[in-house]
Chains A and B, each alone.
Chain A
Amino acid sequence: MDFAFFLIQLLNGLQYGLLLFLVASGLTLIFGIMGIINLAHGSFYMVGAYLAWSLSAMTGSLTAAILLAIPLTVILGMGLERLLFRHLYQRDHLYQVLLTYGLILVFEELRSMIWGDDVHGVAVPELLNASIPLTDNLSYPVYRLAISGVCLLLAAALYFLIQKTRLGMMIRAGASNRDMVQSLGIDIKLIYTLVFALGIALAAFAGMINSPLSSVFPNMGSQVLIICFVVVVIGGIGSVKGAMAASLMIGLAETFGQVLVPEVAGTIVYVLMAIVLVWRPEGLFGKG
């Protein structure tokens, strides 16, 4: 590998890492900050991708599809929180695992009934449908770079929301002591509904914006679910900064792993997670 290709692989790794952060961002919020185990995260990712596909087929534009789909997923998230999740905050994590596992099955079946079992492609928006030549035979799709930009913006916004705003303070307070926050006169129920819906919308948004790259297919959610949990666990539960660092680490490890040690490429991420957990059981930026 000469230096130019090393740099390109570095870019690949960072770009993949940012993509991972995007996909895991909803989970960072719901699992990392609210402390709810949501195994159905992948299902919301899938719902987003299928919405992007069907709405962009209807409207002829991915941008329009995303703008239409985001309110839909926020409503879906609020509805689910009111109907189901609200009743499980005080219970053991096992109940959340059971509920969200059930939701995976329900969403797969609904997907099959509504959209069928075929694979579909989503067109890249015309404006971003270009490539930047890097070497004589390799170029870089602009859409991937655009996604990286969106990820950075999203990361900054999330960090700001959680760490710097009054709402973020209430969320963090609510996560550590719900009753106390409530007795201080804060409508914690409403805040939880909103934050939960935001988490669902983020997962779905990741599916939408990623759909031109990943294409849309049954069970696509289960592919991203595990890696998302790995991101949150390595980064440290409750930390947006940690999730970002973990995403980039995983992106680089996977990219260089595939090229340098292809025999064990499939296990690198999990070895990495094991090492981090031995060294810092609370994760890179966890509070212990």
Chain B
Amino acid sequence: MHKNQKASYDRREFLRGSAAIAGTTVAGVLLPTGQVFGQQAKLKVGLMLPYTGTYTQLGIAITNGFKLAVEERGGKLGGREIEYFTVDDESNPAKAPENVSKLVQRDKVDVVIGTVHSGVVMGMAKVLKESGTIWINPNGGAGAMTGAACAPNFFRTSFSNWQSTHALGKVLKAKGIKTAVFITHKYAAGEEMMEGFKEGFEKEGGKLVKELYLPFPQVEFQALLTEIASIKPEAVVCFFAGGAAIKFLKDYQAAGLKGKIPLFGSGFLTDGVLDAVGDAAEGVETTLHYADGLDTKKDKAFRLAYAKTFKLQPDVYAVQGYDAGQLLAAGLDAVKGNIGDKAGVIKAMEAAKIDSPRGPWTLSKSHNPVQDMYLRKVVGKENKVQGVAWKALADPARGCKA
């Protein structure tokens, strides 16, 4: 398509793509016996992710994505082989400090990768702020991690909750919508997403007429749907995920609201649930930093390599894990694998331009991705990209002084 101006870029992409496939095949065969005696000891990477419970699939996708990024580089980062240490965080915030301490103190890892659940993320933050271990968070969107609790060794390759709904204000304005109701569970992620939307919408002159909260993890929506029908807003914006998202989408349709009041949401509403909801999600529009049908070389190569290696289709979580690997590679390449030069690693990671399947992104001052937010629309079983809702959206990182 862009043959003339981008020939070298294309070739590099192509090579990287094929290397990924070749690399993973080779790695798969050789790894068990593939002891190579280099000059440096192995780099210790601690994976603290959910491998049991509701978020198991997310933990696996992130792990796969990370390992794919490493395998594409010949199984090495900054010239060093990787030794993995794994801890199942069970998505249990109460155990977070203990679990992350296992990696930091017992295994003495050089880098910590984790995790999905925002509550666990905040539990990890306390320990990792003290230890100063380099930490890359491949999912949990708690604003505080790159906000009030930010630190030089904290990095995130996913999103902040605020980011995932902020661009919706612009989207609604473009459609001429002036009033909206926001509905979500009453817990930190829901409230942060509500704030992100409210700020974006009011900046565009819109009015958030009502915030509706449901106690977490209840899923009896009937009373609040009735409330929405009586308020008659021009749009409903929401955040639910997993089982709650499925039920909400179905109930919204069953209550007859679908088609009468358009539904919008944070992209997590319609990710990984489309098989289960049937046609109840059709036409729902969401914003997220990833989408189906991006149709870029990088995304295609990534999807192909991921599918071939793991016999699974990648999702947004796999992309976030993959980018955690890419970000770490950028840091370690700059210091030739010498993780002891922590300042050098951090500096290189801060300056990195990540060539992600989601599109290129950089880090903000507080180490959260500055990234394009896509507007997606549910068409059949896909979150089809409709365009970029907000180019290079940065989290405001309120309260970050590091």
Contact = CB atoms under 8 A, between A and B. Distances in A.
Interface string A186-229: 00000000000000000000000000011111111001000000
Given A5-B226, A218-B54, A138 B243 contact: no
A215 B243 contact: yes
18 contacts: A5-B229, A117-B54, A119-B276, A121-B246, A121-B250, A121-B275, A121-B278, A135-B229, A137-B260, A138-B225, A215-B246, A217-B54, A218-B53, A219-B53, A223-B218, A259-B223, A265-B214, A266-B215
B224 A258 contact: yes
A118 B57 CA distance: 8
A2 interface: yes
Nearest to B211: A262
B273 interface: yes
Interface in B273-293: 273, 275-278
Given A138-B225, A213-B250, A217-B243, 14 more contacts: A2-B230, A8-B226, A13-B223, A119-B273, A121-B277, A135-B230, A143-B254, A219-B54, A254-B220, A255-B223, A258-B227, A259-B226, A262-B212, A265-B215
A138 B226 contact: yes
Question: Is the contact region of chain A dominated by helix, strand, or loop, or is it mixed?
Answer: mixed
Contacts of A163: none
Contacts of B225: 138
Most chain A CB neighbours (cut-off 10 Å) among B56, B220, B225 = B220
B22 interface: no
Given A5-B226, A119-B243, A119-B273, A137 B213 contact: no
Contacts, number: 111
Interface of B: 53-54, 56-57, 186, 212-220, 222-227, 229-230, 232, 242-243, 246-247, 250-251, 254-257, 260-261, 272-273, 275-278
B222 A255 contact: yes
A15 interface: yes
B57 A117 contact: yes
Closest 10 CB pairs of A and B: A266-B215, A139-B256, A217-B243, A138-B229, A121-B276, A141-B254, A255-B223, A215-B246, A12-B222, A5-B230
Contact of B254 (A1, A131, A133, A216): A131
Give the size category of A's interface with B: 35 or more
A61 interface: no
A138 B212 contact: no
Contact of A141 (B213, B219, B247, B255): B255
Given A123-B278, A262-B212, A220 B243 contact: yes
Contact of B223 (A140, A144, A213, A258): A258
Contacts of A140: 255
B212 A133 contact: no
Nearest to A133: B256
B228 to A, nearest CB: 9
A131 B247 CA distance: 17
Contacts of B232: 137
A254 B219 CA distance: 12
A131 B215 contact: no
Contacts of A259: 223-224, 226-227
A44 interface: no
A120 interface: yes
A115 B365 CA distance: 44
B224 to A, nearest CB: 6
Contacts of B213: 262, 265
A223 B217 contact: yes
A16 interface: yes
Nearest to B241: A119
Contact of B256 (A15, A138, A258): A138
